[in-house]
Amino acid sequence: MVDVVPAHVRSRMMSGIQGKDTRPELIVRRMLFASGYRFRLHRKDLSGSPDIVMPGRRVAIFVHGCFWHLHQGCRFAKMPSTRPEFWKVKLEANAARDSRAAAKLREQGWRVLCVWECSTRDVHAAADLQAAMSAWIEGSEPLGEIGASSRV
């Protein structure tokens, strides 16, 4: 399928995509703050620069976009039809980097939670997301993942 947007317009659109302070990340931060949790943001000294860090609890939270981080089985993680070989390599590299970062954090004694973008989209399920995050933070599981179809 041919891209219906000219290359220069597509380039401008893609360059506007943020790496931090994204809508899903802000939603997660608001929920955590409302639940009484205090945290630091984007700790560059930690592997993968987690989006949210709770140093006292040794918790690192990544808020991943379903498309950019290749959320398996998610309807928002569809492979683009233009230049599929480029996107396949790029997105698989992102997912591999995420796995390495989580493994390194685990080696350093951190608990790691991944909150997928799709879990922040349903306004009616916000209380469920907030409860799932709190349950994981208060629990002892070393790794966690919260997506629309998989609450911890």
Q: What is the mean pLDDT of residues 10-15?
A: 70
Q: What is the pTM of this model?
A: 0.86
Residues 65-94 have pLDDT tens digits of 999 999 999 999 888 888 899 999 999 999
- Maximum pairwise Cα distance, the chain: 50
**Domain 18-146 superfamily per CATH:** VSR Endonuclease (3.40.960.10)
Cα separation of 69 and 77, whole Å? 8
Q: Pick the closest to residue 120 from 17, 32, 14 (CA basis).
A: 32
Q: What are the boundaries of each domain within the chain?
A: 18-146
Residues 17-57 have pLDDT tens digits of 666 789 999 999 999 999 999 999 999 999 999 999 999 99
Q: What is the mean pLDDT of the chain?
A: 91
Residues 115-130 have pLDDT tens digits of 999 999 988 889 999 9
Grade residue 12 by pLDDT with cuts at 50, 70 and 90. Answer: confident
